[in-house]
Amino acid sequence: MLSLDNKTAWISSYDINTLSKINFDDKIRTVKDISADVYDMSLTAREDMLLSLYGSTDVSTDVSLLTTKTGEIKPFLSLSPLYPGSIHITKHNEIILGVMEEGSTYDRTDKGGSKLIVFGMNGKPKTSFEYDKHKQRMFTLPDRIASNVNDDIVVIDNISQYYGRVVVLNQEGQIKWTYQGNPQVNSGVNLFYPSDIVTTSVGHVIVSDINRHALHVLSHQGALLICKVMADQGIIYPMSLDFDTNGQLWVGCRSEDGESCDAKLHIVNMSS
């Protein structure tokens, strides 16, 4: 989900392979539907979108550009033989991609695995982040990427399909801190499984914890400020997060059973 203002958003539903522009005014109105199986997306300065796509091998190694005025999708950047996953455009107009080798979804080895690559908007690579200062691989599957006011790179790294963590890198690509959940909420079988991440204007990090119906708010230094289970407010299975132009947090949730079409979008006022 990407909000354009306080009433309009692009929302992707991979269950029905559709990317929709939705207007939320007196009535909910679909402005545009585009057939696209989107893994992740990020807005350019011109409010076009860069997309990483699921689907056929014809597009799976490409980052595509969606021209929002026309709805045309065309290849923007080829990564073959790597596969793009998470994508983020920074305030400095740099593109950060989480990429993986074929067959290496949760297989972090010395010979192959996942990494971040930073590109300019001209599609030329600038740098990549793969190993820490101990020459160990930093990521298993970098699933979502954000950046904060200090230009740190904030990454959701999924260790398995049941468990993940937050990894924050400095501008040199070294790990500043990691977060693996709140023991009061994430214990036993209730592992921390982050699904999306955003940062605030003062540097706080907000993470959606889909299986625990929770939002974790962290300081820019990685300290847990609050962990709020949102189920008592009717917010369950929070998948996607974004701030609108009014500073309100949009929370997109998946359907309760994962199949029916009763997914909900909530708008939350955040207090400092």
Q: What share of the chain is helix, strand, coil (3-state, %, to 5)?
A: 0, 50, 50
The mean-pLDDT minimum among 63-67, 76-80, 106-110, 122-126 falls in 106-110
Rounded CA gap, 84 and 42, in Å? 13
Helix (H, G, I), strand (E, B), or coil: what is residue 41? strand
pLDDT band at 46 (very low <50, low <70, confident <90, very high): confident
What pLDDT does 112 receive?
A: 59
d(CA 173, CA 188): 32
pLDDT confidence band for 147 (50 / 70 / 90): very high
CA dihedral of 242, 181, 107, 254, whole degrees rounded to 10: -40
CB of 214 closer than 8 Å to CB of 185: yes
Whether the Cβ atoms of residue 83 and residue 61 lie closer than 8 Å to each other: yes
Q: Which residues of 52-62 are buried (b: 16+ CB within 10 A; e: fewer)?
A: bbeeeeebbbb
pLDDT grade for 259, boundaries at 50, 70 and 90: low
The CATH architecture of the domain made up of 2-268 is 6 Propeller (2.120)
State the pLDDT at residue 58. Answer: 47
Coil/strand/helix, residue 36: coil
Calpha distance 186→188 (Å, rounded): 7
Q: What percentage of the chain carries pLDDT values higher than 70?
A: 92
* Cα 177 from Cα 123, distance rounded (Å): 29
In the three-class reduction of DSSP (H, G, I as helix; E, B as strand; rest coil), residue 149 is classed as coil
Cβ atoms of residues 88 and 146 within 8 Å: yes
Enumerate the domain spans of the chain.
Answer: 2-268
pTM: 0.92
Q: Is the model's pLDDT at 161 over the cut of 50?
A: yes
155 versus 189: the higher-pLDDT residue is 155
pLDDT above 50 for 56:
no
Convert the pLDDT of each residue in 77-97 to its tens digit. 988 888 899 999 999 999 999
pLDDT tens by residue, 176-235: 999 999 999 998 889 999 999 999 999 999 999 999 999 999 999 999 999 999 998 999
